[in-house]
Amino acid sequence: MPRAGPSLPRLGVALGVLLFAALPLVLPTYQVSVATRILVFSLLAVSIDVLAGYTGRTPLGHGAIFGVSTYVTIYWVTVAGGSPWAGMALGVLAATGLAAVFALLAVRTSGVYFLLLTLALGMVVWGVCLRWSTVTGGENGLRGSVRPAALASQVSFYYAVLALVLAATFLVWRLVRSPFGLTLRGIRDSESRMRALGYNVPLHLFIAFTLSGMAAGVAGAAYALFNEFVSPTTVSLAQSVQGLLMAIVGGVGTLFGGFIGAAAIIVLENTVSFYTERWQTVMGLMFVLLMIFAPEGVIGRGLALLRRRR
Amino acid sequence: MNSLNLFQLLNGLTFAALLFVVASGFTLIFGLLRIVNLAHGALYLLGGYIGYAAALATGSFLLAVLAAMASVALAGLALDQGLLRFVRGFELRQVLLTLGVAFILNDLGLLAWGGDTFTVPVPEALRGALRFAGVFYPKYRLFVLALGLVVFLLLWLLLNRTRLGALIRAGVDDAETLEAMGVNIRRIFLVTFMLGAALAGLGGVVGGAFLTLYPGADSEILVFSLAVVIIGGRGSLPGAAIGALMVGLLNSIGQVMFPELAYFVIFGPMALILAFRPLGLFGRAA
């Protein structure tokens, strides 16, 4: 039976929002910046989950889409001298455009091919950001104060990001709950059946991919204001992989799991980095273990045990 | 704007030869075992580092090649038997698992060899340049070109003219029937996996002598190999050859004409091919 998707678990969401809203009241300043990072990457994980969870296509290029938005935002403010708000809008626009290009190429593929293609496209973006040094600053990247004066304090910035991420997540949730979202799930479960029913499968996938890229772009623009620095690392494969890891840890197809995944991974990264520089090894190890023991994700695994079905 | 001269054309061809060696291993594993081994680039770099160490220790390029191929084949054995066996039949889980392995190998490589750049020493006989058609061209790069051709020929003979090759091809088409006929299909797949890994190791040593070895070389060669396989089609040897030629030459053209956007130049044609043939030039539906 097709379930209606994540109904808004009112109590859970209310508690989550309350928790995030209360965090700056109890946390020291440094921890508030960690919490801001968690919010930014939650949205990236949510955007990845739109594709991985609802269309059944796992993308490995969303780090590049996310990072292009960061690049454009920072470039607009530091090099072109524009306002941060316009920079963010342009960043999201650039990310959406890039996602549309990726989508055009990728919608006809599925499974492993989709993954490989998005990976290759993401690597192209990384290569361009690395080599096109007159614009991107090459390996040194771009740096500069991007954050508007109104959001200078850590706490006010946190609340602004919280509002942005919650609004974007709400829209994504509306999207996957809509008839359009149901069609996506239909495509995930049986592409041929949906085609036989007269649905334009490539068009649906194209729109889903582009909107998912737009959400990743919003996260990337917020990241620009948060980090005030961008380098090829931001668009690297590692970024895409980390985003996917968050989505998987949170549970593929749960949408809100992205928040839990992002929190888990970032807290873990901060803890691990305290003891060792080998975060990449830890991340790789987590991937290997997850794939062997809990490919549906930690949350998904828990739900599956609860539901006893599939 | 500079135009392409013979020297740059040869550079493109020799790079294509190296790409073919690496990508043929990738496409063999992908085509026959349905495993997308994203650790292939990491195996390339591992082979390069091992070959470098062996070349310094023994002073022999040949021994370095053999050491690299053997140890990377063993790494392939460990990867297949130690990890991939737990996720058999799940394509996506396999890919993401090898991706995790790639991250681990990459990071441990950084730990063991640091961020420095190494160049595998070239044997005396292959140093210097040859003069022909009015250009001086490094002998070593010509050797790489020849090696690419030899590897293509050997792989073609292996797949089309030997019993093992026939079993591999039969296994691709219908593994169940082959197994019912009493053939140990797992062993054949394992041999193929090790062979593909060994080719990555070979590429690592050979490429390490003219492209140098550094952290990040693994993902660069991986994305080039991916482009080759996406263009050529999964599991196709001629596809890998043509894909490697295209990517190698386009990369050369790109570097000459648009040095900052060279990466972009391989992407255009790949996109075009995908638009018309989603499975690549020589790809067949599974």
Would you tell me how many other CB atoms lie within 10 Å of the CB of residue B57?
11
- Contact yes or no for A284 and B103 at CB 8 A: yes
What residues make up the domain containing A191?
A: 10-307
Interface test with A, best of B256, B260, B272 (most A CBs within 10 A): B260
- Contact yes or no for A237 and B219 at CB 8 A: yes
- For residue A65, name the pLDDT band (cuts at 50, 70, 90): very high
What is the spatial distance between Cα A232 and Cα A125, in angstroms, rounded to a whole number?
9
Tell me the average pLDDT across A261-268.
93
For residue B201, the model assigns a pLDDT of 97
Q: Is the pTM of this model over 0.90?
A: no
For residue A150, the model assigns a pLDDT of 86
The answer to the question of residue A242 being in a domain is yes
**Which of B87, B226, B262 is nearest residue A119 as measured by Cβ atoms?**
B226
pLDDT of residue A160 exceeding 90: yes
The answer to the question of residue A5 being in a domain is no
The answer to the question of residue A301 being in a domain is yes
Q: How far is B107 from chain A (nearest CA, A)?
A: 6
Using an 8 Å Cβ cutoff, are A24 and A155 in contact?
yes
How many domains, in total, are found in chain A? 1
Angle at A56 between CA A99 and CA B41, to 5 degrees: 70
Chain B environment of A281 (Cβ under 8 Å): 103-104, 107-108
- Contact yes or no for A287 and B219 at CB 8 A: no
Using an 8 Å Cβ cutoff, are A240 and A63 in contact?
yes
The answer to the question of residue A2 being in a domain is no
Q: For residue B128, give the 3-state DSSP assignment.
A: coil
The β-bridge partners of B131 are B136
For B142-192, write each residue's pLDDT tens digit.
Answer: 999 999 999 999 999 999 999 998 988 887 777 788 889 988 888 888 999
Tell me the average pLDDT across A136-163.
90
The answer to the question of residue A215 being in a domain is yes
Strands A229-230 and A142-143: antiparallel
The answer to the question of residue A1 being in a domain is no
Using an 8 Å Cβ cutoff, are B232 and B242 in contact?
yes
For B95-106, write each residue's pLDDT tens digit.
Answer: 999 999 999 999
The answer to the question of residue A157 being in a domain is yes
The answer to the question of residue A3 being in a domain is no
- Residue A287 forms contact with B (CB below 8 Å): yes
- Contact yes or no for A288 and B83 at CB 8 A: yes
Query: Which positions ≥6 away from B167 have C-beta within 8 Å?
Result: B178, B183, B188
For B232-279, write each residue's pLDDT tens digit.
Answer: 988 888 999 999 999 999 988 888 887 777 777 777 777 777 767 777
- Contact yes or no for B100 and A287 at CB 8 A: yes
Using an 8 Å Cβ cutoff, are A207 and A8 in contact?
no
Using an 8 Å Cβ cutoff, are A36 and A96 in contact?
no
Q: What is the rounded end-to-end Cα distance, in angstroms, of chain A?
A: 11
User: Which CB contacts under 8 angstroms, 24+ apart, belong to A159-164?
Assistant: A159/A21, A159/A24, A161/A36, A161/A39, A161/A40, A161/A222, A161/A225, A161/A226, A162/A20, A162/A21, A162/A39, A164/A218, A164/A222
**Which of B91, B106, B227 is nearest residue A120 as measured by Cβ atoms?**
B227
Question: Which carries the bigger pLDDT value, residue A300 or residue A285?
Answer: A285
CATH code of the domain covering residue A108: 1.10.3470
**Could you tell me how many CB contacts below 8 A there are between chain A and chain B?**
120
Residue A12 is encoded by which pair of tokens? 């859970």
What is the spatial distance between Cα B274 and Cα A109, in angstroms, rounded to a whole number?
9
Q: Which amino acid is at B156?
A: W
Using an 8 Å Cβ cutoff, are A71 and A234 in contact?
yes
- Residue B7 forms contact with A (CB below 8 Å): no
